Chain A
Amino acid sequence: MSTEYTSAEMMTVTAARALENGMTCFVGIGLPSEAANLARLTHAPDVVLIYESGTLQTKPEVLPLSIGDGELCESALTTVSVPEMFRYWLQGGHVSVGFLGTAQIDRFANLNTTLIGDYASPKVRLPGGGGAPEIATCAGEVFVTLKHSKRTFVNDVDFVTTLGFGRDGKGRDGVPNIGKGPTRVITDLCVMKPDPDTKELTVTSLHPGVTKEDVIEATGWEIRFVESLETTPEPNTRELEVLRELKERTARHHAGEAPGERS
């Protein structure tokens, strides 16, 4: 495998490989959507993708800009109302994996998409929870993907919008009818998984060319590494081709849209 690739492509391909045929995936917009569709177009053609806009088993030709692009509806098996989506399909237990992005994540994989700073007078106001709080608890398990930096990987999130394992790692203990929570976090540097006992996110695999120091430098807590640390397999030629075509197709589609002349 000699093809060159970027760290962003490494992240997307690794995230895509986490999905398998037979999974039903509730997909977040952005990086998760890119990875989920790459999986569908490569090794997991039968993975079922659903988006919170109500589109069930959708097969978009281009990546959606928003969670409710027409493309998602046109290529879906069926489109249901948003209450039905959350009540029957998510809460009803039909989603095996939720695939989420986030603005901040902490050592116990809690996610913050609400704000930076204090709630009453925020430094930065973020969009809020959306579907994530219940996706993270009702789906069988959760994958998270985001770029690695000290700003995003913090010791404690400013606000727990969405439960990982709670402030103490015990947030899911004894709660009935709750999913496993985040089982892997995929970044542009590495893959992390929760420690089986403490639930603290721990690096299990470094991407090729990435050092432990790189990860330590980009993480806001004293990050730990498993003893049997692996090297993440590189993307193969087909994955890179399909991903690049998908992104080109998407860029052409969104740039080339008529401005929608108004009468």
Chain B
Amino acid sequence: MAEFLSLHDAVARYVDDGATVAMEGFTHLIPFAAGHEVIRQGRRGLTLIRMTPDIVYDQLIGAGCAKKVIFSWGGNPGVGSLHRLRDAVEKGWPHKIEILEHSHAAMACAYEAGAAGLPLAVLRGYVGSDLPKVNDQIKFIECPFSGERLAAVPSVRPDVSIVHAQKADRHGNVLVEGIIGVQKEAVLAAKASIVTVEEIVDDLGVEPNACVIPGWAINAIAVAEQGAYPSYAHGYYPRNNRFYKEWDTIARDRDTFTQWIEENVMNAGGQA
């Protein structure tokens, strides 16, 4: 049964140094507030999993939280590079990180397999790509029925998954609306899960086929108003595209970045 905790307490309880952490949200509902809380609590040595690392992982990497990043597209969407990710990979600042990269199809399948409790995901993928040469987690197997050669990747089984959603009811049942990405899969694939929400309501008011994650499948719910900002929450607030563009300048320089983190995360108190 989901427990209602403050964001501070949820992160303190479920995100340990050295943990494997997935923060999902496919350009939508990105759990920025939770990411900032992880930075504030000074977690180290994390293996960070995310299909599209985006600005939130750029911040975690630049702040020194990451040991390894598993991803399938690491850029600032529509803008360009993630400069902190690049600085860590190309120049080892603030320290060298390991990267393991996949394609979207493989990672989506790996989350789904994790949610399904399977050890691996099978897909018709990576044909002719060099990615299997640099990622030893990509293998090929023969279909026992047709003989077709198919790609196999291990399922994603994070220690903790963190996602953001629009709302939860008082039992901790969560509604995710709009672009739903791999949020449900991420929660179900993980040993523990934290869901941050914009608000708690009496009644979710859902249609029969809405994307609802039951409260009994979630460990902790934390209210984080504007918790996906500067990404967006469908029905609540738009994506701040201007900030995504500004981030390019902020993150390009180590000092500017460090100052930004100090001012907007470390000294921002409860929610940033």
Contact = CB atoms under 8 A, between A and B. Distances in A.
Interface of A: 29-30, 52-55, 64-70, 72-73, 79-83, 85-87, 90-91, 110, 114, 119, 121-134, 137-138, 159-163, 166, 171-172, 175-178, 254-255, 257-260, 262-263
28 contacts: A53-B181, A54-B26, A54-B180, A65-B239, A68-B26, A68-B28, A70-B178, A70-B238, A81-B184, A82-B108, A82-B180, A90-B105, A114-B130, A127-B75, A127-B81, A130-B103, A132-B103, A133-B127, A134-B103, A138-B124, A161-B130, A161-B131, A163-B127, A166-B128, A175-B127, A254-B241, A257-B239, A257-B240
B179 A73 contact: yes
Interface string B105-138: 1101101100000000001111111110010000
B71 A176 contact: no
A71 to B, nearest CB: 9
Nearest to A33: B78
B102 A125 contact: no
A29 B128 contact: no
B172 interface: no
B77 A68 contact: yes
Contacts of A30: 78
Interface string B143-181: 000001000000000000000000000000000001111
B219 interface: no
Contacts of B77: 29, 65-68
B226 A133 contact: no
B240 A163 contact: no
Contacts of A124: 86, 90
Nearest to A164: B128
B216 interface: no
B242 interface: yes
A163 B151 CA distance: 15
B193 interface: no
A91 B226 contact: no
B31 interface: no
Given A125-B74, A128-B101, 5 more contacts: A54-B26, A125-B90, A127-B73, A129-B129, A134-B103
A62 to B, nearest CB: 11
A65 B108 CA distance: 22
Interface in B63-108: 71-75, 77-79, 81-82, 85-86, 89-90, 101-106, 108
A66 B79 CA distance: 8
A131 B74 contact: no
A68 B27 contact: yes
A29 B76 CA distance: 12
Given A162-B129, A177-B148, A52 B104 contact: yes
Contacts of A172: 128
Q: Which of B77, B79, B89, B128 has the most CB of A within 10 A?
A: B128
B131 A260 contact: no
A72 B2 CA distance: 32
A23 to B, nearest CB: 21
B244 interface: yes
Interface stretch (B15-23, B228-236, B251-259): B228-236
Contacts of A133: 103, 105, 125-127, 129, 131
A82 B185 CA distance: 10
Q: Which of A72, A83, A161, A162 has the most CB of B within 10 A?
A: A83
Given A66-B239, A133-B129, A73 B234 contact: yes
B248 interface: no
A130 to B, nearest CB: 4
Contacts of B51: 82
A131 B109 CA distance: 12
A192 B111 CA distance: 38
B226 A130 contact: no
Contact of A161 (B26, B52, B129, B225): B129
A81 B180 contact: yes
